[in-house]
């Protein structure tokens, strides 16, 4: 598995890269946001938020605009707003420094499993004029392709697979995100708002107060 570590502090990056390589990962390390954007394709990006040139949020946004590569963001801060911003931009997981190597390896494997499971799911989900091609990670509505982030796609695919049925928020958090997000409803709301805008029909995703969400059948 190819990893890209984006970390500008040598004292952190060097033992981190050594530890990851000891676990069998093929690791490339860069120290700036621009180098991360210029790096060749990898299977997962471990992205520090504080970088000397471009902050990690901007790097995440740029990566997500052109790729579905799994991204784990790393920061010294632990405020919920940082987690929400990272998720809104398309990050798959979030780590707060300091963290242990075992926790990092567990997060990498969990994110990789989720990414693989989504790609191995049903080929095409059809719900009215909406079509979701899961292996290709493409979604269209009335023939118009939707430009979605990784998490927006995963959320839409889940709702489309249960069209007409209410999907509760805990299931959404469990299947689209993992339990490390402490059930924050803000994360779901941000992505729903973005999906409604991109679908150009705010009524297509219905909010069932106190329960969850339903894609109109």
Domain span holding position 153: 121-215
Q: What CA–CA distance (Å, rounded) separates 107 from 27?
A: 16
Contacts with 70 (C-beta within 8 Å, 6 or more apart), sequence order: 43, 44, 45, 92, 93, 111, 112, 114, 115, 150
Looking at the chain, which runs of residues are DSSP E strands? Answer: 2-6, 26-30, 44-48, 71-75, 93-96, 124-127, 130-133, 138-141, 144-145, 167-168, 205-208, 212-215
Residue 161 has a pLDDT of 87
Secondary element (H or E) of residue 120: none
Q: pLDDT digit string (tens) for 101-136?
A: 988 998 888 888 766 655 555 578 888 889 999 888
State which of 118, 145, 178 marks the end of a domain.
118
Mean per-residue pLDDT for 146-172? 90
Rounded to 5°, the CA angle 185-138-54 comes to: 65
Higher pLDDT, 54 or 117: 54
| Same domain assignment for residues 82 and 143 | no
State which of 102, 118, 134 marks the end of a domain.
118
CATH assignment of the domain containing 66: 3.40.50.2300
* Tokens describing residue 26: 């093929």
| Same domain assignment for residues 83 and 147 | no
CB 216 within 8 A of CB 205: yes
Contacts with 171 (C-beta within 8 Å, 6 or more apart), sequence order: 212
| Same domain assignment for residues 114 and 126 | no
pLDDT band at residue 162 using 50, 70 and 90 as cut-offs: confident
Residue 79 has a pLDDT of 63
CA proximity to 98, closest of 82, 118, 75: 75
């Amino acid at each position: 598995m190819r990893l890209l570590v984006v970390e500008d502090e040598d004292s952190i990056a060097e033992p981190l890269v050594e530890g990851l390589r000891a676990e069998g990962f093929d690791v490339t390390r860069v120290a700036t946001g621009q180098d991360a954007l210029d790096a060749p394709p990898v299977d997962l990006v471990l992205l520090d938020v504080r970088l000397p040139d471009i902050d990690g949020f901007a790097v995440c946004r740029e990566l997500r605009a052109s790729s579905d590569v799994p991204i784990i963001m790393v920061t010294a801060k632990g405020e919920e707003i940082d987690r929400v911003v990272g998720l809104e931009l398309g990050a798959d997981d979030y780590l707060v420094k300091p963290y242990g190597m075992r926790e990092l390896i567990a997060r990498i494997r969990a994110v990789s499993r989720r990414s693989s499971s989504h790609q191995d799911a049903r080929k095409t989900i059809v719900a009215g004029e909406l079509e979701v091609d899961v292996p290709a990670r493409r979604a269209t509505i009335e023939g118009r392709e939707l430009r979605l982030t990784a998490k927006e796609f995963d959320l839409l695919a889940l709702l489309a697979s249960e069209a007409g049925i209410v999907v509760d928020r805990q299931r959404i958090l469990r299947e689209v995100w993992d339990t490390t997000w402490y059930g924050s409803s803000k994360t779901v709301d941000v992505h729903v708002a973005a999906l409604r805008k991109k679908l150009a029909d705010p009524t297509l995703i219905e909010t069932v107060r106190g329960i969850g969400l339903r894609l109109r059948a």
